[in-house]
Structure 1
Amino acid sequence: MPAGVLLAAAPEARRRLWGPLAAGLATAVVLSYCLATRPVTAEIRGHTIGYGVNVPWMTLVLTGYLFATLGSLLLGGDRRLRTLGLVLAVGAPACSALWRLEFASTWCAFAAVASLLVLGWVRRPPATPAVT
């Protein structure tokens, strides 16, 4: 996410996106290492299946993940990307709460709705140059 936002951002917004990119890379390294070296567990939780990997410092890793994904959108400078970041920032805890109540695939459903914002951003008309 942060790399995509960095590539799409206006030049004046790119400087503030290096923090989310660094957090995303660090988070990816930790999660990849844990996935490659630790057992993955699965357990039935009501109507869902919970998968897990023993990740040390999970709160720090989750914070890095959220800063990388949501932070890049919120800092990207584009109004539509900022709106997507706000929607996702509200949706993440809502989906977490629903998942804990054993509603399956809440994040997938929410991501489908949020993707409409991305579609609107991608299909926006090209910017017309300002006449001076």
Structure 2
Amino acid sequence: MAAVVIGGVGVDAARHVRTGAQWPLAALPLLFAGHTLVEAFVWWGLRGDVSGRVQTVATVLYLIFAFLVLPVYVPVTVLVLEHVPRHRPIEIITLVAGVICAAGLAVALISKPFTARPEGHHIVYHVHLHAGPVIIALYLVSTCGALIVSGRRFLRWFGVFNLAAVALLAWVATEAVTSLWCAWAAVTSMAVAAYLRSAGPADVDYAPQS
């Protein structure tokens, strides 16, 4: 049900795209809708409603999007939208951080077993990380920092709220951050749709420099 609602939000966001540069941002709600649907199959597998093989595939797909796609996709989205040349160097740094982070997480997924288990109303994903604190820091730099350093007001606030959300979730349920934060990010898809519907390409604080 949640995936259907988020997918509807994604369709609305896509309908209000005004420039080609907005497409990566507009696609986020649709990507989160797919991500939410994939986690539904993880839930069903844990409950025994689908086969163990289906659950395993769903878990792999869920972690690939959360760990490998998002750390790269978010900085690329910001770079595509950015019109302020002086912001680009630091945004490129966040992209490099995302690529390094995704590479480290890919190694973790390939080299060690990973698990998913239900805990209350969320799923705990356990992955054996090499240099865990470094990977986590790179993940935050790429997924939240890239937004915070943007020249666009909406993206900066989007990054601040996402960073606050992940900090709160880590405090409440450290092991469940992967599942809960992705659920939060899906909810914020409504903010993306609202931004594209109202502000459009004009939401930038600084004039481009030649």
Letter in 1 for 2:149: L
Which is helix-richer, 1 or 2?
A: 2
Match of 1:111 in 2: 185
User: What is the TM-score when the length of structure 2 is the normalising length?
Assistant: 0.53
Match of 1:50 in 2: 124
Secondary structure of 1:77's aligned partner: coil
Unaligned stretches of 5+ in structure 2? 1-73, 203-210
CA distance in 2, matches of 1:106, 1:55: 19
Moved more, 4-13 or 40-49: 40-49
Secondary structure of 1:56's aligned partner: coil
CA distance in 1, matches of 2:122, 2:188: 23
CA distance in 2, matches of 1:39, 1:115: 31
Residue from 62, 76, 80 that aligns with 2:150 = 76
Secondary structure of 2:151's aligned partner: coil
CA distance in 2, matches of 1:100, 1:65: 15
Residue 32 and residue 100 in structure 1: after superposition, are their counterparts in 2 closer, same or farther (change >3 A)?
closer
CA RMSD of aligned residues (A): 2.5
CA contact under 8 A between 1:38 and 1:53: conserved in structure 2? Answer: yes
| Alpha-carbon offset, residue 62 of structure 1 | 0.1
User: What is the TM-score when the length of structure 1 is the normalising length?
Assistant: 0.80
Percent of residue pairs bearing the same amino acid type? 32
Moved more, 118-127 or 74-83: 118-127
CA distance in 2, matches of 1:74, 1:88: 10
Secondary structure of 2:125's aligned partner: strand
Match of 1:7 in 2: 80
Letter in 2 for 1:95: L
Deviations 1:76-128 (A, max 9, x none): 110000010111111111122333598xx53344223322222223222443x
Match of 1:91 in 2: 165
Question: Is 1:19 equivalent to 2:82 in the alignment?
Answer: no
Residue 54 and residue 125 in structure 1: after superposition, are their counterparts in 2 closer, same or farther (change >3 A)?
closer
Unaligned stretches of 5+ in structure 1? 128-132
How many residues are matched? Answer: 126
CA distance in 1, matches of 2:128, 2:200: 46
Letter in 2 for 1:27: C
